[in-house]
Chains A and B, each alone.
Chain A
Amino acid sequence: MLFRIDPSAPEPLFAQLSAQVRSAVARGDLSAGERLPAGRDLAGSLEVNLHTVLRAYQDLRDEGLLELRRGRGAVISERAAQDYRPLHAAIATVVATSRCLGLAPETTTALLKEALR
């Protein structure tokens, strides 16, 4: 699992972290039962505050992607590792249609965000 954060980016650091875990799960790079590094270790590696990592982990737990257990650390939940294939197929269709119509990527993502609200 690759974690990368950019302190100069507008997005808060905890959001950058949780977004990477989300997409790693969606891509299938992280599967159910897999453990994320301990908050202290990850914070040390990335030179960020421990609370930044914990905030990201808590957000992911609230979404049901992570299970945080005392002594066991942060584990990807069973629910998180569902089959994303239908979603990937649908996204491929959206991308193809958007390209076909000559839309700017921003327009498509804006529409998606709107629809997901």
Chain B
Amino acid sequence: MIPNRAATTPDERNRVPHRVSTTWWTLGLPAVVLAVCGTLALAWRSELPEPLAAHWGPQGVDGTSSFVGLVLPVIGATGLLSVGMWAVGFFLGRPAMTRRLANAMAAWFAVFLAGVLLGVLAAQRGVADAAHAGDIDRALTLGAALATASAVAIALLTPEDAPHSTAAPIPADAPTVPLANSEQITWVRAVGQRSGPGIALAVLTFSAVLGATTRQWPLAIVLALVLGPMLIAELRWTVTVDRNGLTARSGLRWPTLHVPLDEVERAEVVTVRPLRDFGGFGLRIGLDGRTGAVLRKGPALQVHRTGGRVVVVTVDDAETGAAVLNTLASRAR
């Protein structure tokens, strides 16, 4: 997947940047969170009933566990997820998007699991019998909110990709279009869901079912009002190739994928199998480290970017898009 034609040496090209930062955010921070959580849990241990309430059903507590049986799985799960995210960021983290996702996910799981554990324990401090443990709904909500806030903050703190331009010519066998020196050219293409009414209907049905089953009608209505327009905008992307390079942006203009012209090594057409290559749809990271806006299966525009990065956008008429990108990049060299 990594082009051999780049002017940089293999070592320089293959090096994954910001490995120290990735290691800190995916392993260091979760370790700190776990240490704080573990210290608190141990400090509270003498005030806790044995066995502890470990599961809540509609009628309150319906499952118990020992102290170790409750704490150990949380530590184990956080550790496993952190190591997994570390591996993603450490080995595949050439694009900032991959590092950002790995860092944010590791933080989210660590904070959420620690928060839930502390919430569960706090609800039964000073309680003699696990059956009388307090409610943990608020702890769950608070844990999720804290986890999301940490994930967003860490995503913002994740180092961006440094500009990495190349002067290497576009390979001669790459597709191009004829273009006069005085000409300006732009290729624009929309991709994704066109059926606004269809999505609206699906969201309304989902909200109605949710409202009817949970009786939380205000929540269901807010969800429909927010989710509907958001989905309609986010499932429709516009792909542009112009003098700035390749830009793929969703209807709300965020998220956006951008490859500057001077970082394009070459563009080509590939076939994308969303589930097999990217594990699903949306803004994705592939197992091979490619990042992509995957909105449907089939032909896609693939760009080899400097620094060993590969960006994929599923879009119709990708042949023209790739050819125009190669042509513009070639002219700018």
Contact = CB atoms under 8 A, between A and B. Distances in A.
A82 B186 CA distance: 26
Interface string B153-197: 000000000000000000000000001101111111110001000
Chain B interface size, as a band, is 10 to 19
A3 interface: yes
B242 interface: yes
Nearest to B242: A45
B243 to A, nearest CB: 7
B324 interface: yes
B238 interface: yes
Given A34-B190, A35-B190, A42-B188, A4 B183 contact: yes
B186 A46 contact: yes
Contacts, number: 53
Q: Which of B187, B238, B242, B243 has most A Cβ within 10 Å?
A: B242
B232 to A, nearest CB: 12
B188 A4 contact: no
A48 B182 CA distance: 13
24 contacts: A1-B187, A1-B188, A2-B320, A2-B324, A4-B185, A4-B186, A5-B184, A7-B184, A8-B180, A35-B190, A36-B188, A37-B188, A37-B240, A41-B188, A41-B240, A42-B186, A42-B188, A44-B242, A45-B186, A45-B240, A45-B242, A45-B243, A47-B184, A48-B184
Interface of B: 179-180, 182-190, 194, 238, 240, 242-244, 320, 324
